[in-house]
Structure 1
Amino acid sequence: MSNIFKGKVVLITGGSRGLGAATAEAFADHGADVAISYAASADKAKAVVEKLRAKGVRAIAVQSDQADLSSAKPLIDKVMAEFGRLDILVNNAGIAIQGQMVDDPELDGDNYNRQWQVNVLGTIANTRAAAQKLTDGGRIIFVGSLLGSYVPFPGVADYTGTKWALAGYAKGIARDLGRRNITVNVVQPGIMPTDMAADVAGELPNRDAILDMHPIRRIATLEEVAETICFLAGPHAGYINGETVNVAGGLGI
């Protein structure tokens, strides 16, 4: 498609499937060398890497469980050892535990707590480790959720909280890293055709009613969201910093 990322290296966490895999392909289409991380899906990660290499770029997959905060530094070290640089970090990895009300006596506390561990603390650990290695003029993009700014249905308090936390954290590190011309932004998709969304969809109170709330009555494509991430990582977005971009068809306006 283009070579706007020729010579650049991007790390996409959670890149073995869904939006992460689509984003990896989009960056490769634009000429970037790509590293993806994955927690358990080794076969899927291998398949993504093969697709990327077939596009003529260098690519690797690194097993890294974001729930384990000590995995962050080894992940970044492996990327640096393979490519010698890191220009773009896409914090995509996360999990969605939804459906229970905060006052539910049967609330699955362990799973909900793990969601905070993976989505927030794990993401922060990866960001801290990467910030020391990112080239000046680099990019950090957080993949959040529209639920980080708009909550149209109940049962998502903790998931929403994790996404709000990341949006606030992104603004803080945009301040910290601005002196190095590193921009930090958040992309907040709405509903997408991913395995995670499919797992959660059955817990929504009325899916048709939720689609009716969208001015554009459909879900986002993975390609739309991936290209938004690429734009924020690209040469024309160097003065967009500390911002949140919703890709949700107007839901919440």
Structure 2
Amino acid sequence: MDLRFDDEVVLVTGASTGIGAAAARHFGRAGATVIVHYNANGERAAEVVQDIEQGGGRAVAVQQDLSEASGAVALAEHVLQEFGRVDVLVNNAGGLIERRPLGERDADFVRRLLDLNVGQLIALCEAVAPGMAERGRGSIVNVGSVAAVTGGAGGSAVYATTKGAVTTYTRGIARELAPSGVRANTLAPGVIETPFHDRWTTPEQMRGMVSTIPMGRAGSADECAGAILFLAHDGAAGYITGQVLPVNGGQHFLG
């Protein structure tokens, strides 16, 4: 099936690198107008926009700090004012902050992770979804993690908890939005070769995680992007909502 998004407005958060950048490029090639959100890496975001435009697509980079919900609200207001609507929302922005072992995760650390991975995601959905519901269509893809089920690798228990919250929230809004024709699903990547692991995972840890994957390798950002486009496309996934799509090479089976 040719997954086209012609004349649709797609907002991808955390789109300067990794899974977000790959998804933005794929949406651009599929005909969408893509809002490439970034926080600090404006140069890489500009490269994503350039790649999309060179392929004949339309894209614009928008900067916003999403470490707190207020930033997400500001981003939504800007996009809705400039483009009038969002047809597809991909909540990819988030992070680990750092690996901290048991006993070293204080209240401030927990709060920052919750704000970064849960608070801003909820704020964006709450700001964008009502407009989708009014129009009677739209799709939300929230990027979770296999860590929501496994508990995460060393020092990432709180990160894993936030990804579990993403899954639960997505299921909740999927039920609320279903009567209006709007869908919401979670993508749950496993071990994916992205700057996330370049920054937070040692080579030894990476080898250990890959050794548990039946397919014998880490996944790619492009493989995640393809799954995101599938979930976002009404023709391909029009009867799928509230679900978790794992992209993990068989490392773990999510129910």
Q: TM-score by structure 1 length?
A: 0.92
- Any stretches of 5+ residues in structure 1 without a counterpart? none
User: What residue in structure 1 maps to residue 36 of structure 2?
Assistant: 36
Aligned length: 250
Change (3 A) 1:40 1:208: closer
Do 2:16 and 2:37's aligned partners in 1 also have CA atoms closer than 8 Å? yes
Do 2:151 and 2:161's aligned partners in 1 also have CA atoms closer than 8 Å? no
Distance 2:143 2:176 in 1: 19
Change (3 A) 1:167 1:86: same
Change (3 A) 1:31 1:118: same
Distance 1:83 1:58 in 2: 12
Q: Once the two structures are aligned, what percentage of the paired residues are identical?
A: 36
Q: Map 1:10-159 to 2 at 5 A.
A: 10-104=10-104, 107=105, 109-134=107-132, 135-151=135-151, 153-159=153-159
Do 1:27 and 1:230's aligned partners in 2 also have CA atoms closer than 8 Å? yes
Matched, 1:240 2:231: no
User: What residue in structure 1 maps to residue 224 of structure 2?
Assistant: 225
> 1:74-93: per-residue Cα shift (whole Å, max 9, x none)?
32232223333210000000
User: What residue in structure 1 maps to residue 170 of structure 2?
Assistant: 170
Specify the code of the residue in structure 1 equivalent to 2:69. L
Question: CA-atom RMSD, angstroms?
Answer: 1.9
Distance 2:59 2:207 in 1: 40
Do 1:11 and 1:88's aligned partners in 2 also have CA atoms closer than 8 Å? yes
SS in 2 for 1:110: helix
Specify the code of the residue in structure 2 equivalent to 1:247. V
Distance 2:152 2:197 in 1: 16
- Any stretches of 5+ residues in structure 2 without a counterpart? none
Do 2:214 and 2:251's aligned partners in 1 also have CA atoms closer than 8 Å? yes
> 1:71-124: per-residue Cα shift (whole Å, max 9, x none)?
2233223222333321000000001134322224xx465344311111011111
